[in-house]
Structure 1
Amino acid sequence: MASTDAQKAARAERALLAGAAPDVAEALTGWLGRLGHERRLSPKTREAYARDVATFLGLLARQIGHGPTLGDLGALEPRDVRAVIAARRAEGIEPRTQMRFLAAARSFARHLEREGRGKVGALTAVRGPRVPRTLPRPLAPGDARALADPATRAGDAREPWILARDAAVIALLYGSGLRISEALGMMRRDMPEPGRGDQIVVHGKGGKTRMVPVLRPVIEAVDAYARACPYELEPTAPLFRGARGGPLSPRIVQLAVERMRGALGLPDSATPHALRHSFATHLLGRGGDLRSIQELLGHASLSTTQIYAAVDTETLMAAWKAAHPRATAK
């Protein structure tokens, strides 16, 4: 049986504590507890933080010859942190992963300062690696609709209820712009029945909730899946189920999209998350404003949403040609 995200997080946290000096291990226990209870980070995020801080402490131990204590952390110089970053770069770690690595270490350092256990000023004095900005790669509207259309699954030999389930999840990702974790985290009571509502409450990152409109075809797709599902869908239980009745795994959705893009001749960039990008880009192209799209996507900062403005250059140029008094000047 595959390990759950919570089990993986617990193993990563135990490994982190086992390799730390006693005073650091005590501080780490408080930090890990805060990540889980106060910040309400997902198990997968806690696992990543624990692994990154374990790597940071391990690289420091190689530099100073022993497991760092709180005193060692407080005495760090910027050159020590740069040496750690250089060691990670030598391992071939990409800049984006290095930034996450530093973010985890800085989170632990802030916890130490907040608890009055010392200040690790060197971590804030060093700039992280520059991360190249990459633009989302949305699907064309027709391709996104084809992925979410149950009719395109003709000839698939899997059970009809599983085909209906995959169609419902994909329709929800594109129709409401959800993250895959948000869609799979929904309970049966979260989705209105046909004719009884047009909004859903989405539980997003950091325990934040938001209201998102849901299209009638999406509600009908979910309802078709719910009626075909062989398992009882209790109101407070996961809406989307795996073949054996447990919560549906994100990997199963990824495989379903891979199967569909192969059948439709779509590029490798056609992923579940690309449907979320497509939702935002297509809204912007049809006149949606960035502030509203920010709310729908659950972005904490408008700057995160603004990246979609760079994607839709064709629409922006068309608007310029239509509105600027000299755009058609000879």
Structure 2
Amino acid sequence: MQDKLDLFALMEVRSQHPTPDFTTSDTDSSLIEMWLHGLSSDTQRGYRRCVSEFLSWVKKPLHAVTLADLQGWQNTFKCCAPHTQRLKMAAMRSLLSFGHKIGMLPTNVSMGLRQPKIKDTLNERILSEEEVAAMIETEKNPRNQAILLLLYTGGLRVQELCALRWKDFSARRPGGQVTVFGKGGKTRIVLLPEPVWKKLCKLNKNALSSDPVFVSREKDKNGKTLDQSQVNRIVAAAARAAGIAKKVSPHWLRHAHASHSLNRGAPLHLVQNTLGHSSVATTSRYLHARPDDSSALYLNVQTQTTFDATTGAIEPSPSKQQKQPRRTKVQANTSTLKCPSCKSSELQKNGFQVLADGNKHQRFRCKRCDYVFTPVLSIPNK
């Protein structure tokens, strides 16, 4: 009997001293710090902002978060840009998965979270070769022009460019090479064409190997390393000067590097290595964003419209329709033919293509931009 009384007394004492709560805000903070450990400063800054927004919205510790909480938060930023939506949800999925994996969270509620289907707008951020050339040619400042050249020909990220030191460069006749320490702690070597290498060499005025390549002259006479916001302004100004009515950022030049090199026949794995993509699937997005062929080009379009044989433009037919005579399909006049991409008339024959009419039609390759096309059939009204 006495033993039972002692047991009840012990249980009463324990009830007055509950088990310590290991899910307080301090524990959440510790979990977040462990999760972010070893990530780049840019990734840490972006992830911290996303997690802070979520915790301020949900107003509960991480161990109490439910799938419904995540879905409710996801519904609040449907008006955000696609990249922002992906970043927010990727941050929370990563944190909750990490917390469950190390045993600090009882379950990983993000397992049931469905990512929204978002339209891929990569093609909207790819500049043409003519636009890139205009940006570089109109930039008169040697330092700024070298920045544009490196972002484009090297396919560098803006943070990779800002971190460059002269010791990262070495000569490789006829041009040179740059060693880039990039995203995810990966090091890659990028070869530079001779014109770009010569531009860079002119910037090195007895600089030490440890000196930054691109310095700011705004703060003091010694200068300091350019930050990303300054590079953003340089690229935006160059785009405006070139007459480009788009909000161009440094990353657009990286997109242009991938798209243009693939269009000119560079192997997919080589572009992947140059850009530092961890997966070839990331690089292949540029093939889908700007395909150089389509089944639509194999169709023999016959409508009540008039085709401009030189540009491929479609003009509306006259509003008043008269009885049309029997139409005869003829090949476009090659004497006035121009490239649909760059409008050059310097063309060479490049085999044949079978269209929907079952006949072979001559294909052409532009000597200036390497664009391959089959002229649109002209349908004259006689």
TM bucket, shorter chain: 0.7 to 0.9
**Does the CA-based 8 Å contact 1:192-1:199 persist in structure 2?**
yes
2:47 paired residue number? 49
Structure that is richer in strand per residue: 2
2:338 paired residue number? none
2:289 corresponds to 1:296: no
1:316 paired residue number? 293
Q: Which residues of 2 match residues 168-317 of structure 1 at below 5 A?
A: 168-193=146-171, 195=173, 198-227=176-205, 233-243=207-217, 244=219, 245-313=223-291, 315-316=292-293
**Does the CA-based 8 Å contact 1:135-1:310 persist in structure 2?**
no
Match of 2:109 among 107, 118, 122: 122
Shift of 1:202: 1.2
**Partner SS state of residue 316, structure 1:** coil
Match of 2:61 among 64, 68, 72: 68
Letter in 2 for 1:44: D
In 1, distance between residues paired with 2:106 and 2:252?
41
In 1, distance between residues paired with 2:353 and 2:53?
58
1:107 paired residue number? 94
Map Cα deviations across residues 268-325 of structure 1 (whole Å, 9 max, x no partner).
1543222112211111121112222111111111121112112433x3369x985676
Shift of 1:22: 2.6
Task: Give the TM-score taking structure 2 as reference length.
Answer: 0.66
2:135 paired residue number? 147
Q: 1:178 to 1:121 in 2, by over 3 A?
A: same
1:87 paired residue number? 76
Q: 1:210 to 1:323 in 2, by over 3 A?
A: farther
In 2, distance between residues paired with 1:129 and 1:238?
42
Q: 1:130 to 1:311 in 2, by over 3 A?
A: closer
In 2, distance between residues paired with 1:98 and 1:46?
17
Letter in 2 for 1:329: K
In 1, distance between residues paired with 2:236 and 2:72?
40
In 2, distance between residues paired with 1:153 and 1:97?
31
In 2, distance between residues paired with 1:219 and 1:242?
21
Computing the radius of gyration over CA atoms, which structure comes out larger, 1 or 2? 2
Letter in 2 for 1:123: S
1:10 paired residue number? none
Map Cα deviations across residues 33-77 of structure 1 (whole Å, 9 max, x no partner).
x2xx2xx32x2221110111111222221xxxxx3153x24xx2x
1:8 paired residue number? none
**Partner SS state of residue 306, structure 1:** helix
Shift of 1:213: 1.2
In 1, distance between residues paired with 2:160 and 2:246?
23
Structure that is richer in helix per residue: 1
Shift of 1:193: 4.7
**Does the CA-based 8 Å contact 1:184-1:248 persist in structure 2?**
yes
Q: Which has the higher contact order (CA 8 A, sep 6+)?
A: 1
2:126 paired residue number? 138
Shift of 1:140: 2.5
Q: 1:242 to 1:120 in 2, by over 3 A?
A: farther
Q: 1:81 to 1:271 in 2, by over 3 A?
A: closer
**Partner SS state of residue 224, structure 2:** coil
Letter in 1 for 2:243: G
Shift of 1:177: 1.3
Q: Percent identity?
A: 27
Q: 1:118 to 1:260 in 2, by over 3 A?
A: closer
1:12 paired residue number? none
Query: Alignment RMSD, CA only?
Result: 2.6
In 2, distance between residues paired with 1:104 and 1:127?
14
Letter in 2 for 1:147: M
**Partner SS state of residue 48, structure 1:** helix
Letter in 2 for 1:22: D
Q: 1:326 to 1:219 in 2, by over 3 A?
A: same
Shift of 1:218: 1.0
In 2, distance between residues paired with 1:236 and 1:138?
34
Q: Runs of at least 4 residues of structure 1 off by over 4 A?
A: 193-197, 320-325
In 1, distance between residues paired with 2:32 and 2:172?
48
Map Cα deviations across residues 245-278 of structure 1 (whole Å, 9 max, x no partner).
1111222222222222222212315432221122
Letter in 2 for 1:297: L
Q: 1:146 to 1:226 in 2, by over 3 A?
A: farther
2:380 corresponds to 1:329: no
